[in-house]
Structure 1
Amino acid sequence: MTKKPEAIVFFDLDGTLFNSNIELLPSSYDAIKKLKQNNMIPMIATGRNPLEVVDLMKEKNLNSIIGMNGQVVIYEKEVIFTNNIDKNIITRLYEFSREKTNIPLSFYNYKAMRVSENGEPAQKFYHHLKQDVPPVDDEIYLKEPIQMLLLLCEQGESAYRELFPELTFIRNTPYCVDVFNHGGSKGRGINELLKIKGFDDVPTYAFGDGMNDLEMFLTVDHPIAMGNAVDGLKDKAEYITDTNNNDGIAKALEKFGLI
């Protein structure tokens, strides 16, 4: 039986837990340590693949993540939920991309990241993330479950929405669009976690800055927007804290009495 935490706090990464230099502020790290001391679970909730933040999680002793916008849930190092995309749908989408749009793809599961080709779109996107381009393997989806795709493009995703109603398309950076099962979201991942672990009565908090945090805000008990968040998300927040560059995480956790 998993011990129930006093609370679970979900943190988006880019623009939230990370500052503008994609770094964790010392005040945020200290706050996370205090949460754990108080029997509260700090949990990353990000559009990123868990593989992208494995070093951060190991260094900061973070063991729980909702990754790929809710398509995988890992709680205290245990994979408890995955939301795999049907292989036939991926095949159709990839064929459409090759034949009609010339938009390359990334294929993600919680164990691997691959790209369909290493060209300018992939290099632009991964440079934006300060990452190396993953290896090329455009058949990985035939061999392994895939939980998220990326359209590596600066425009052109509108053509996909009508053709693939089974999927959700969210532009997450200027250079890519996240693609996952319709109904999948950070909020879905949170609900799966609470249901599977029997945590329905555990208070939940969430920090975010972008519209891919909206479903998360609509799911938790206490949604907290960063000062640098987009207006649409601020409208759904219980509280707006300081920015990701100015100790917004620690200030809000103190205000809510969590640390």
Structure 2
Amino acid sequence: MIKKPEAIVFFDLDGTLFNKDVDVLPSTYDAIRKLKQNNIVPMIATGRTPPEVLDLMRDTGIDSIIGMNGQVVIYEKNVVFTNNIDKNVITRLYEYSTRENNIPLAFYNYKMMRVSENGQPAQKFYHHLKQDVPPVDDQIYLKEPIQMLLLLCEQGESLYRDHFPELTFIRNTPYCVDVFNHGGSKGRGISELLKTQGFSDVPTYAFGDGMNDFEMFLTVDHPIAMDNAVDALKDKAEYVTDNNNNDGIAKALKKFGLI
């Protein structure tokens, strides 16, 4: 039987757990260590896939993640939920994207990443992430379950929303748009975690800064916005802490008595 934690704390990455240099502050490392000592589970809640954050999870000792904006949930290294996109929907979207907009795609699941082509849009985006461009395989979705797609573009996503009402489109960086099943979100992932693990009575906290954290803030007991967060997210927060460069996470965890 899985040991029930005293609480669970969910951390967004960019602008939250990461500072402006995409590093984790020493105070945050120390805070995560203290959380674990207090039987409080730290979890990453991100638009990224688990393979993208393996080094971070190793360095911080975090082994649980809400990945791809809630499309996969891994708790203590065990996959407890996935939200796969229908292959027929992906086929339609890929054909539309190629025919109408010339926008390349990336295909993600919780084990791997592929791109439809390695051109300037892919190179710009992955350079922004400080990552290598994934291998090219535009047929991967016919062979493997896919939980998230990316539109590799700087504009043009509004054209997709009317054509694909079964999908959600969220711009996550200047160079890409996250695409996943409508109704999927970090909040949905959290709800699935609490349901599958029998944690409905466990207090939940979340840190975030962007609009892909919105549903997460509506789901947890204690939403905490970084000072650098967008105003719409701050409006939904129980508490606004210091920014991601100035020990905001450690300060809030102390305020709430978690460390």
Please give the range of the TM-score, normalised by the shorter of the 2 chains. Answer: over 0.9
| Cα root mean square deviation, aligned | 0.4
The corresponding residue for 1:5 is 5
The corresponding residue for 1:49 is 49
Q: Deviations over 1:219-242 (max 9, x none)?
A: 000000001000010000000000
CA distance in 2 between counterparts of 1:198 and 1:2 reads 9
The corresponding residue for 2:254 is 254
1:60 CA displacement:
1.7
The corresponding residue for 2:157 is 157
TM-score, normalising length: structure 2: 1.00
Say whether 1:63 aligns with 2:63. yes
Say whether 1:217 aligns with 2:217. yes
CA distance in 2 between counterparts of 1:148 and 1:220 reads 23
The corresponding residue for 1:90 is 90
Classify the secondary structure of the residue corresponding to 1:184.
coil
The corresponding residue for 2:105 is 105
Structure 1: state its 5+ residue gaps: none
The corresponding residue for 1:147 is 147
Counterpart residue type for residue 78 of structure 2: E
Say whether 1:203 aligns with 2:203. yes
CA distance in 1 between counterparts of 2:111 and 2:177 reads 20
Task: State the 4+ residue runs in structure 1 displaced beyond 6 angstroms.
Answer: none
Counterpart residue type for residue 135 of structure 1: P
1:195 CA displacement:
0.1
The corresponding residue for 1:245 is 245
The corresponding residue for 1:170 is 170
Q: Deviations over 1:189-225 (max 9, x none)?
A: 0000000000000000000000000000000000000
CA distance in 1 between counterparts of 2:46 and 2:168 reads 16
Classify the secondary structure of the residue corresponding to 2:246.
coil
1:135 CA displacement:
0.5
CA distance in 2 between counterparts of 1:219 and 1:80 reads 18
Identity of counterpart residues, as a percentage? 83
Counterpart residue type for residue 82 of structure 1: T
Counterpart residue type for residue 121 of structure 2: P
